Structure 1
Amino acid sequence: MNLFKTKYLKYLILGLISALVVTLWPRKKEVPGHPRDYAEIIASGELRVATEYNSISFYVDGDTITGFHYELIEAFAHSKELKAQVTPVMSFDQRLEGLSNGTYDVIAYGLLATSELKDSLLLTEPIFLNKQVLVQRKAPDGNDSLLIKSQLDLAGKTLHVVKGSPSILRIRNLGNEIGDTIYVNEIDKYGSEQLISLVAHGDIDYAVCDESIARAAADSLPQLDINTAISFTQFYSWGVSKQSPVLLDSLNSWLNHFRESKEYKEIYRKYYRD
């Protein structure tokens, strides 16, 4: 088996594992409810959290759970003497729905502060910087003339994104900026890492995802190019329900202090490169 197939197989297996983990991850039976605020959460002793399963946010390795957002939300919960019940949810829309019906108290995943999101939930203070990038394959013969190097070259192209991703609004605005149509195909079943593996194998040509996730994949899939930015570098936050303002204040107060700590810097360096 050549190196390309070996590395693609690695990401295909990761995709299958993530689908299996998300499917089999223990969930409480969902019943019609309401978003909880801080007092109700403290009284229950449990903080219910939704995130995405990937090697940056939340990842299961044997009997160990790791991930930037997982470690941060665990630190917050520990500081409040709460037990964090973290659930991997691949669908962006399902995370939002779970927040609105009280299934989850927090979306601990990088959310971009778009006007659309601000209308539907409350966003915490910024947690980290990131941007959206185009994931594509390099020309196999080394002829990079086939690569999209400019946003102007996106005219008429179809970009694959996770369904409901905030990047969709950015892509539409980008289409207006270049004066041409950029088509968007929303994928419901897969997360960003799975879309990247589909690009690597040639099943799709272009995907858009967070640069941090794309960088992690490109380290072991050198046939990928991630050098074309789709957005500017922006701040990303967590989200809570609009009915949970005290929870938002508690998270913000904690984040403002924790981001200055040595513990935060150590966690950040594990998953992100400046």
Structure 2
Amino acid sequence: MEVKFKHTLRYDRKPSSRLALYGLLLVAALTLMLCVRTCSMPTLRVAERHPSGGDTLDVAIEYGPLSLYRYDDTLGGFSYDLLRQLASERGLHLKFHPVVALGDALSGLDEGLFDIVVGAMPMTERYRERYAFTAPVYIDRQVLVQLRDSAGKAPIGSQLDMAGHEVWVMAQSPVADRLHNLASEIGDTIYVVEDPAYGSEQLFIMTATGEIPSAVVNERIARVMAADYPQVDISTAVSFNQFQSWLCRKADSLLVNRLDTIMEAHRQTGGYRELSRRYFP
């Protein structure tokens, strides 16, 4: 009837080293591409992490299939493209800061380095006490990521089967709260490892390659990733559908209200509908 949190995360194993390097290279490449884009898009810039000041909003955006990713020589992602639309149509000045670990983004928000955190962030009561959420951007839920056995069957077939198993999540993610509640519901222990270095995509890959036993990530991200990893099962839901929003500091209520007003108007446009069909068919 408890959740045990393990905080000693980095094991001395070669796959971890490769993934760490992979994550750093991805962020470096994305940062460089965002810098190049400043030549043709003056409202979208990236620089060293310090408050921009003026009317520029610093946006910490999670690297992942729904937020920000690279395909060929182009940057994409539902949240990234949506923010670009808002910047273009509503005169917002944005500076993007790609991040892999959610903890880095939240720490930067707390320290005043960022104004907005964009990523796979469900609304939870504990986080509502700490941060201001924008109006919902989309709806998602969390699923368990695990390898199928030699017969093609998932070892964990339901939430009840998670008792006694080790599950990895992003450090400071609301998903840990959900697993705590789930452990109470099933009356048994779930061993939760909070990883401070990696995001949802990296945890999915670590599970797919057998480096960790399982992970919990958002379903929309898992479905995109599962197309390239047929050995992975994502059929076990860990939560109900939840609103996914962007985060701001509690003191920035005016910014939240401004974003909500802009988003409400933008939902009625053809650009938003086309974007939704592209990413959420």
Q: TM range, normalised to the smaller chain?
A: 0.7 to 0.9
1:112 is paired with a residue whose SS is: coil
For 1:98 and 1:66, the matched residues in 2 are separated by 23
1:186 is paired with a residue whose SS is: strand
Which residue number in structure 1 is paired with residue 75 of structure 2? 65
Which residue number in structure 1 is paired with residue 186 of structure 2? 178
Q: Is 2:240 the partner of 1:235?
A: no
For 1:54 and 1:180, the matched residues in 2 are separated by 32
Q: Is 2:60 the partner of 1:55?
A: no
**Residue 277 of structure 2 is aligned with which of 254, 266, 269?**
269
Query: 1:29: Cα distance to partner?
Result: 4.5
Query: 1:23: Cα distance to partner?
Result: 4.6
Letter in 2 for 1:19: L
For 2:78 and 2:49, the matched residues in 1 are separated by 27
Query: 1:122: Cα distance to partner?
Result: 0.6
For 2:20 and 2:193, the matched residues in 1 are separated by 19
Which residue number in structure 2 is paired with residue 193 of structure 1? 201
Q: TM-score, normalised by structure 2?
A: 0.82
For 1:214 and 1:48, the matched residues in 2 are separated by 27
Are the aligned partners of 1:137 and 1:200 in contact in 2 as well (CA < 8 Å)?
Answer: yes
Query: What are the residue-to-residue correspondences of 1:80-159 with 2, within 5 Å?
Result: 80-142=90-152, 144=153, 147-159=155-167
Query: 1:28: Cα distance to partner?
Result: 4.2
Query: 1:69: Cα distance to partner?
Result: 0.8
Are the aligned partners of 1:18 and 1:53 in contact in 2 as well (CA < 8 Å)?
Answer: no
1:111 is paired with a residue whose SS is: coil
Query: 1:260: Cα distance to partner?
Result: 2.8
2:119 is paired with a residue whose SS is: strand
For 2:123 and 2:57, the matched residues in 1 are separated by 23
Gaps of 5+ in 2: 1-16, 33-45
**Residue 260 of structure 1 is aligned with which of 255, 268, 279?**
268
1:75 is paired with a residue whose SS is: helix
Are the aligned partners of 2:49 and 2:97 in contact in 1 as well (CA < 8 Å)?
Answer: no
For 2:137 and 2:216, the matched residues in 1 are separated by 21
Q: 1:63 to 1:85 in 2, by over 3 A?
A: farther
2:120 is paired with a residue whose SS is: strand
Moved more, 91-100 or 237-246: 91-100
Q: TM-score, normalised by structure 1?
A: 0.84
Moved more, 160-169 or 196-205: 196-205
Query: 1:22: Cα distance to partner?
Result: 2.0
**Residue 20 of structure 1 is aligned with which of 11, 21, 25?**
25
Q: How many residues align?
A: 251
RMSD: 2.3
Q: 1:14 to 1:72 in 2, by over 3 A?
A: farther
Query: What are the residue-to-residue correspondences of 1:208-219 with 2, within 5 Å?
Result: 208-219=216-227
Q: Is 2:80 the partner of 1:75?
A: no
